[in-house]
Amino acid sequence: MVTGAYISVAGAALVARPSATLRLLFPVDAGITEPWTRLLGLLCLTFGSYYLFPAWLEHRGVLPPPLAFYSATVVGRAALAAGLAALVAFGGFPPGVLLLAALNALGAASMHLALSADSTEL
């Protein structure tokens, strides 16, 4: 759970204040641009959710470990798809990034369908 928390906090900081966060670790002239730092932050938030969400579901007794993780990937990939689309719309990213958003949305939808089909068989 600690790993998920620190990855999520790092991700939120990189999305909200990319330059200030990077200056904590790298020299200002490292050549890392703010938009790509936001993308790194978005990925950190997604990976952090893969640790935090299953732990929360398991602790509450909602889902067993494998299903909790798979459910987390549905939420994480859907959020990542929305975040990538927002980076294109508001962050100056090239439209090609929308392909990554679409692939993540498709992956989230297919996993959701697989989990729904699995639950009817239980």
Mean pLDDT within 68-93: 93
* CA gap 39, 11 in Å, rounded: 9
Residue 25 or residue 80, greater confidence: 80
How confident is the model at residue 1, as a pLDDT? 65
Dump pLDDT digits (tens) for 7-60. 899 899 989 998 888 778 666 666 677 888 888 899 999 999 998 989 998 889
* CA gap 39, 57 in Å, rounded: 27
Task: Find the helix packing angle between 65-90 and 97-121, rounded to 10°.
Answer: 160
Is the model's pLDDT at 90 over the cut of 70?
yes
Q: Give how far the C-alpha of residue 92 lies from the chain's centroid of Cα atoms, to the nearest Å.
A: 19
Is the model's pLDDT at 110 over the cut of 90?
yes
Residue 31 token pair: 């050549």
* CA gap 23, 10 in Å, rounded: 13
* CA gap 4, 2 in Å, rounded: 5
Domain boundaries of the chain, sorted by first residue: 2-121
Is the model's pLDDT at 121 over the cut of 60?
no
How confident is the model at residue 85, as a pLDDT? 96
- What's the pTM value of the predicted model, to 2 decimals? 0.79
Dump pLDDT digits (tens) for 63-79. 888 899 999 999 999 99
Is the model's pLDDT at 122 over the cut of 60?
no
